[in-house]
Amino acid sequence: MIALYYLGIVFVIAAIHRFFLKKDRTEELERFHLPKYFDIFIYSFEFVVGVLLLSTVPFFIKRIALILLLVFLTLGCGLMVLYNYKELIKTYSDVFTFQPSFMSYCMHLAYIVIIISLLK
């Protein structure tokens, strides 16, 4: 259950971040070769999924949201590798070591959430 709340919070924050930081989301669209205005779909999707995961809707609805999120994230990871392979290689250590970056912090927090979920 903690993993659902963690993901819900992460995606609501991501949606709010994208909504207010137009320059960042425009650059993201360019980096991933996505069509203009696709950012509206992205932050709307993130917000709806985040709210669903935090809500009291039946689990089968959350399950559908999780499956859609899995597809969305898989496609995003594929685009990231396709268009930004060199940048990924430069920053790979953030995943495996503690770095003074928010990405490193979030990754390690995700590890904690996963471990707590597995111990239940």
pLDDT tens readout for residues 59-73: 999 999 999 999 999
- Residues 94-106, mean pLDDT to the nearest whole number: 79
For residue 48, pLDDT beyond 90: yes
What ranges do the domains of the chain cover? 2-84
**pLDDT tens-place string over residues 70-96:** 999 999 989 989 998 888 888 887 777
**Predicted local distance difference test score (pLDDT) of residue 43:** 92
The mean per-residue pLDDT over the stretch 4-26 comes to: 91
Residue 55 has pLDDT above 80, yes or no: yes
Helix axes 38-54, 2-20, angle to 10 degrees: 150
Alpha helix ranges (H) inside 1-120: 2-20, 22-31, 38-54, 59-90, 93-96, 102-119
CB 5 within 8 A of CB 48: no
